[in-house]
Amino acid sequence: MTRREDPRALELLLIADVHYVRKADHVCPIPERQAALGRELLQRTRLRVARGGPVDAVVLMGDLVDNGEAPGVEKDLQALADEVRKFEAPVIVVPGNHDGSADRMLSIFGDHTGVHRLKGHQLITFADAYQANDEAARFAADLELVVAAARERPDEPLIALQHNPIHPKIESTYPFNLTNAAEVMRAYEATNVMLSISAHYHPGLAPEAVNGVPYLTCPALCEAPMRFVRVSVKGRTFTARGEPLAMPGKAFPLIDYHAHTHYAYCADNVCPQASIDRAERFGLQRIYFTEHAGQLYLSPDDYWGGAFRRDAALIARERGAGRGRMHCYREEMASWRSARVGVGLEVELDANGELTLLDEDREGWDVLIGAVHALRSFCDASATDAEAARGFMDETERVVSLGIDILAHPFRIFRRSSRGVPTDLYEPVAQLLAAHGVAAEVNYHTNEPDPRFFERCLAHGVKIALGSDAHGRWEVGEFHPHLTLLRQIVSEEELPHVLYGRPVRS
């Protein structure tokens, strides 16, 4: 069994120091903290974790808000509680010095201090006592709690969870460590605590053992590179892995060729300014807005109903009647174009096998992405797998031949229609892309791409484009799975050379 498949392993997700400010009447005084993004950072973490395997508990390590005394802060705490429940795992909460009332916080999240038993382990959380100067100390009764837990269940390893670090001593004018840390360490040693986990010190600290007790300090989610930590525990051994939400953009340029806008009927709280901001914050060199051309020409009913796949003249008629939003999109998006921002379209085929793009609108785009969203020749549900494969190949051959730059989410249509992917088509599609000089897009939006297809693409010299296919701002620039896939195929040194690159228009 792999680690994630081992039913005895305890998988913990640790999230520390969010410092969220949204509804509270407070302005975070430290610009390095992404205070306004707190809820979105949880969304991004959830998206990442969902692709990395399930967790047995989400542990919030304190300082979830930036000022727990500010009017309206309860709304921010509730918003975070609503978001973290979407992880669909038990939530364990450790109050921090910025959170205000520990009782209020625990009530909102539905948790308690003390012992939490999970998979043969005892996780003990503490709400330490804070003074006005932010100095913190452990209550004597809480030290007794550790002793009692060890005595009552000596066969279950103990994990101690608190906000302030116990060890090592952090040299600073600010009081990071517990003032009675030495006493706490003696108690942990006496009860054979297998792991002590803290937060509060935003850079974080790797595990360091003293007299058999390892001490781990989690980094802050709110500060670059915005890391969370996954801990895997089995018996009395553990591994800890920090994951940054920001991309490693300094090693080589990362470009998002596929981001949607507020013009998309399927958009979810996204707009150019927010997406550009996220691209910069999360380590992208450039972002391309590539809106669905069909949605710019047609009404929601006509687009989602696929009317253009039955009536090739529909788009031209809508333009002739003065309907549609293509002109508005082009004009508005031109104002955003820069060295860091490109503008394009996502196109597909109409009933005649032509792009959903009128001739008069063809010029002036930075990139054209072609997609196979449906098969025109028959109803997907009624086709045999062999018919679907032939229809897909016909559709792909046609769209690739019409001057597109990138083929969007290859083979995704099969996963969306709950069909097996015809892997025998990987080779001919790769050859087709190579013949037309079209890049293949790695796209994880409602999709699970197969590295074997991209391996065939690279064998034929096809470049790889990265696309978030972002419909919400929390998806922009999330290329961790994309890079993980490519690293299965090429070395780190080769990686920059296989990525697609578009010249920037002047």
Give the DSSP per-residue string, 183-221.
Answer: HHHHHHHHTT-SEEEE--STT-EEEEEETTEEEEEPPPT
257 in Cβ contact with 406 (< 8 Å)? yes
Q: Round to whole Å and give the CA distance between 464 and 334.
A: 26
Neighbours of 134 (CB within 10 A): 13
Q: Which residues pair with 217 in a beta bridge?
A: 198, 205
The torsion angles phi and psi of 56, rounded to 5 degrees, stand at -85, -20
Structure tokens of 26? Answer: 């407070």
Which pLDDT score, from 0 to 100, does residue 382 have? 76
Domains and CATH numbers, the chain: 10-244 (3.60.21.10), 255-498 (3.20.20.140)
What is the full per-residue pLDDT of the chain (506 aa) written as tens digits?
333 445 568 999 999 999 999 999 999 999 999 999 999 999 999 999 998 889 999 999 999 999 999 999 999 999 999 999 999 999 999 999 999 999 999 999 999 999 999 999 999 999 999 998 999 999 999 999 999 999 999 999 999 999 999 999 999 999 999 999 999 999 999 999 999 999 999 999 999 999 999 999 999 999 999 999 999 999 899 999 999 999 986 678 899 999 999 999 999 989 999 999 999 999 999 999 999 999 999 999 999 999 999 999 999 999 999 999 999 999 999 999 999 999 999 999 999 999 999 999 999 999 999 999 998 766 557 788 999 999 999 999 999 999 999 999 999 999 988 899 999 999 999 999 999 999 999 999 999 999 999 999 999 999 999 999 999 999 998 999 999 999 999 999 999 999 999 766 64
Q: Round to whole Å and give the CA distance between 133 and 491.
A: 50
Q: Alpha helices of 87-232 — where are they, by DSSP H?
A: 102-109, 140-152, 181-190
Structure tokens of 235? Answer: 């018996």
Which pLDDT score, from 0 to 100, does residue 375 have? 84
Q: Round to whole Å and give the CA distance between 94 and 59.
A: 8
The torsion angles phi and psi of 499, rounded to 5 degrees, stand at -80, 140
Structure tokens of 354? Answer: 């032509």
Q: Which residues pair with 238 in a beta bridge?
A: 233
Q: Is the dihedral of CA 277, 281, 284, 285 positive or negative?
A: positive
Which pLDDT score, from 0 to 100, does residue 246 have? 95
The alpha carbon of 286 is separated from its chain's Cα centroid by a whole number of angstroms, namely 18
Among residues 434, 402, 437, 431, the alpha carbon closest in space to that of 293 is found at 402
Which pLDDT score, from 0 to 100, does residue 3 have? 37
Q: Exposure pattern of 41-64 as b/e (b: 16+ CB <10 Å)?
A: bbbbbbbbbeebeebbbbbbbbbb
Structure tokens of 147? Answer: 């002793």
User: To 5 degrees, how large is the angle CA 277–CA 226–CA 18?
Assistant: 95
272 in Cβ contact with 504 (< 8 Å)? no
Q: Which residues pair with 125 in a beta bridge?
A: 114, 161
pTM of this structure: 0.92
**Inter-axis angle of helices 73-84 and 102-109, to 10 degrees?**
40
Rounded to a whole number of angstroms, the CA Rg of the chain reads 26
The backbone region for 187, taken as left when phi is positive above 0, alpha when psi lies in -120 to 50, beta otherwise, is alpha
Structure tokens of 245? Answer: 């939400």
Q: What is the per-residue DSSP string for 297-323?
A: HS-HHHHHTTGGGT-TTHHHHHHHTT-
Neighbours of 1 (CB within 10 A): 8
Greatest CA separation for the chain: 82
